[in-house]
Structure 1
């Protein structure tokens, strides 16, 4: 486990891997393009959130059934619009269909799946308006988190962020998109946890689940200029935090996420122009 994870999570480190593809109930590799980069990732539960790390842990089976199903959606194992078959899931997790059905109902209340009577349960595809609204919340929550962290005294998270930025710059130079996506998650979650506000982290986790942000990161960082732009914005945020400038840190974070949201929401035919134009403004948040 990364030392930075231990620092930021203060010992709350129950690791969670994504199950291997090709097992019962899970779509095979190649079912959706967005799934491929997630293969072999593991996740760590820290203040109830998913943090992408390295391959290797084997604690997925120890999670409650509801959380395991939630991770299959938010991690991208089941892509937007994909069918989540009750029978196959019951076989995969060695339970009856009743607890699977109840868990899927809960995921529907969270906005993650859509249950169509007599048809099946599908991963919900959020509307453009919903994505805009979620990004608006993300701007506010992460801006506040950066503000609060800048107000704190010496914190272990600052070393984590400095190390993360150095690794991000290297990943950007060598165009290691999978590694960079992991570092994006670590950077933002470190700031949220470093704010030392449990309610903020709780609301942020639910927001990130609904946004399924990992898929957005993977899509945007493939665009020309996105890795370099994102790293520059991360550096501006960290510099303001290190200077103990709460307002500057909040504004830097807000600007970064707003630029990212514009790129993520740009129509396919104009995304390349939007992303290159935002190279001086931001990158994947």
Structure 2
């Protein structure tokens, strides 16, 4: 995993840097789901005033990563089962469009590099290393679709999904998940759009189910429902 982003912020574009640092800390699981964000503590940690912290928290609330509770403060979002189902419904629809476009003109060298990695994964692979490659691959699909609006919408759904992947990945068979990636890449390379879409949808439905299983086991019934 990369180094802790919660280090003093040094940049002329302070607001964006502070936003990125807090966002990355949440995505990486350093600030955990359900945890309260303390403006004072974050300002001290990042060596900035509370103003850019407050602005970053408001911006994060707009993306859905943070939830603002009146008179209580800001908390990292805890999803419900409906949230997960709704989020994956959107993700599957958008990534399906991305894969359809990539099948027509996907960058071959990049696809082959991902294929080589996923084909090498076994049960001894570090889950965090796998997660980084999985994230990179799906980001590649998003970035390669040549549609800036689709790219933006998918990027926002990825941020929310990544909140919980560090936890739900524990229940995933990395070897099987990697072979799903390999089969998907092969279908894209062969420009078999119908097969690629089917494989992508099955893969994402499995990821959704793993996340739902994690939430069911990890959260109180009142929060998971």
- Alignment partners' CA distance in 2, 1:265 and 1:136: 13
Aligned in 2, Cα 1:212/1:192: closer, same or farther, shift over 3 Å? same
| Structure 1 unmatched runs, 5+ | 1-15, 25-57, 270-285
> Larger relative contact order (C-alpha < 8 A, sep ≥ 6)?
2
Q: What is the TM-score normalised by the length of structure 2?
A: 0.82
Does 2:47 match 1:94?
Answer: yes
- Equivalences for residues 137-176 of structure 1 within 5 A: 137-152=90-105, 155=106, 157-176=107-126
Work out whether residues 172 and 180 of structure 1, in 8 Å CA contact, stay in contact via their aligned partners in 2: no
Q: Mean Cα displacement is larger for which, 161-170 or 235-244?
A: 161-170
Look up the match of 1:129: 82
Q: What is the TM-score normalised by the length of structure 1?
A: 0.66
Work out whether residues 143 and 250 of structure 1, in 8 Å CA contact, stay in contact via their aligned partners in 2: yes
Look up the match of 1:104: 57
**Structure with the larger helix share:** 2
- Alignment partners' CA distance in 2, 1:19 and 1:65: 10
Aligned length: 212
Work out whether residues 171 and 177 of structure 1, in 8 Å CA contact, stay in contact via their aligned partners in 2: no
CA displacement at 1:173 relative to structure 2: 4.5
CA RMSD of aligned residues (A): 2.6
Work out whether residues 39 and 53 of structure 2, in 8 Å CA contact, stay in contact via their aligned partners in 1: yes
| Structure 2 unmatched runs, 5+ | 219-225
- Alignment partners' CA distance in 2, 1:182 and 1:99: 29
- Alignment partners' CA distance in 2, 1:17 and 1:204: 25
CA displacement at 1:115 relative to structure 2: 2.6
Look up the match of 1:268: 217
The secondary structure found in structure 2 opposite 1:122 is strand
Look up the match of 2:205: 258
